[in-house]
Amino acid sequence: MSGVTVRELSPARESAWQEYVMGHPQGTLFHDLAWRDMLRKTFRHRCCYLFAERDGKLCGVLPLVIIRSVFFGTSAVSVPFGVYGGVIADDAASTEGLCDAATEAAADAGAAYVELRHLHLPPACDLPESGLHCTFIKALPARVEDVLPGIPRKARAEVRKARAAGTLRVNTKPVPIPVFHALFAENKRKLGSPIFPQSMFWNLLEVLPGRVHTMAVEQDGRAIAVLMSFLWRGQFMAYYSGASESANANSANNLMYAAAMEEAVRLGATHFDFGRSRRDTGPYAFKVNQGFEPTPVHYQFVTKRGATLPSINASNPRYDFAKRLFRALPRVAAEKLGSFVAKRMPV
C-alpha cells in the first residue's frame, strides 16, 4: 500500500510546503509560494497547488495554475511565466498521485491539457514531451577574476572590446522599474511577443524581497541594456532582459552577462542559470557562445485521449500574424494589447 493522500494546499499547510520545497534537491523558485503570490497579484489566475502526504508528512508537491482564455482555451500549467515547475516528489506513488489529481483538477476546470515543466524528471513520470526547449546552467568560479577567463574566446573578446572602448558603464544599483520595463517592452515588441505588464515586475520585487537583482549597461548616463535576475538557493537566475538598438553594436549584451556572472560570484552564488531557450533560435546560439551547455528540459503533457500536444509558442506558424501585428503597433499600444493577451496566455 502506498498510503499517499493528495490534497489541495490550504493556508495551514503553507509552511510545510515551503519547507518541503526548500529541502528537496529538485525544488525551484517556481515551486516557491512567492511565485504563486506574484501570479495571483498580477494575473488573478486560479492557483490549484497540490501536495501529497504520507503519515502526515509531505512527500510531493505540484504547483498548478488554471488559465482561461478566449484565444487559447483553458489550460493547466505548472507553472506559467516560469521555466521550471512540475512535480517534485519522494517516490513513484507520490508522483502518480499528484499527476492523477492534476488531471482531475484540469478536467473539472474544463482544461484541454496539463503541462508539467520539469527541470528534472520525478520518479515514474512517463508522459509525452515537447522536446522544444533547453536550459543553460553552469557552475561559477569561486573568484570574480576567474569569470572572464571562463568565457569562450570570441565572447571574451567582445567583453574586452566593450570595456576598452570606455563608452559603456555597468551599473549594478537597482534599476527603476519604469526604465527596466521600457527596454524590456521594446524588445518584446520587436520580437512580436506580448508585453508583460509593468505590474508584474513591481510584484516580483514585493514577493521576493532581497532576491531580485537588477543591473544596467549605460551609455552617456542612459541605460541601453538591462537585466533582472533572481537569487535562489545558490543559483543566480538571469531571467528578464531588454536592450536598445545600439546595444548590439556596442557589445553591451556580452558586457552585461559577463558582469552578471561576476556579480553572482560577489553575491555568493555557486551556479549561473541562463534560463530556457527554444532550439535553433538566436538566444539559444548566444548562450552557447557564452560557454553554456544546453540541457533538455522535460515539458510533459497530459492530454485528452487522441489529442495532439499543444503548440503555443513563437515557432508555431499560426501566430505569425499576431507577431506581425505586435511589431507594427506603436509601443504604447503594444504594451496595452500585450498586457491583455499575456494575462490569458499559458506562457
Same domain (yes/no): 92, 184: no
Q: What's residue 1's pLDDT?
A: 43
- Residue 317 neighbours by CB under 8 Å, 6+ apart: none
Counting every residue written for the chain, the total comes to 347
* Residue 41 to residue 286: CA distance in whole angstroms: 33
For residue 66, give the CATH number of its domain. Answer: 3.40.630.30
**Is residue 315 in a domain?**
no
Same domain (yes/no): 50, 163: no
* Residue 251 to residue 249: CA distance in whole angstroms: 6
Same domain (yes/no): 177, 229: yes
**Is residue 269 in a domain?**
yes
Antiparallel, parallel or unpaired: β 298-303 and 113-118: antiparallel
The C-alpha angle with vertex 55 and arms to 20 and 57, in degrees rounded to 5, equals 10
Same domain (yes/no): 150, 87: no
Same domain (yes/no): 143, 122: no
Q: What is the 3-state secondary structure (H, E, C) of 163-187?
A: HHHCCEEEECCCCCHHHHHHHHHHH
* Residue in this structure with the C-alpha cell 569562450, named with its chain if needed: 152
* The residue type at 234: G
Cα→Cα distances 194→23, 129, 208, 232, 285, Å = 35, 25, 24, 27, 23
DSSP category for residue 283 = H
Through-space distance between the first and last CA atoms of the chain, rounded to whole angstroms: 38
Report, as ranges of residue numbers, the positions in the chain whose pLDDT lies below 70: 1, 70, 305-323, 325-329, 333-334, 338-339, 342-346
Sheet harboring 298-303: ordered strands across?
46-47, 65-69, 73-78, 113-118, 298-303
* Residue in this structure with the C-alpha cell 548616463, named with its chain if needed: 221
- Residue 196 lies in domain: 135-295
**Is residue 340 in a domain?**
no
Cell numbers placing 88: 517534485
* Residue 342 to residue 347: CA distance in whole angstroms: 8
Same domain (yes/no): 224, 99: no
**Is residue 187 in a domain?**
yes
**Is residue 300 in a domain?**
no
19-73: pLDDT as tens digits: 999 999 999 999 999 999 999 999 999 999 999 999 999 999 999 999 987 677 8
Q: Are 199 and 219 in contact (CB under 8 A)?
A: no
* Residue 26 to residue 321: CA distance in whole angstroms: 38
Distance of CA 228 to the CA centre of its chain: 11
**Helices (DSSP H) in the chain: which residue ranges?**
14-23, 33-43, 92-109, 153-165, 177-191, 198-207, 245-249, 252-266, 282-289, 320-328, 331-342
Q: What's residue 318's pLDDT?
A: 60
Q: What's residue 73's pLDDT?
A: 82
Cell numbers placing 90: 519522494
Q: What are phi and psi of 119, to 5 degrees?
A: -80, -45
Same domain (yes/no): 163, 285: yes
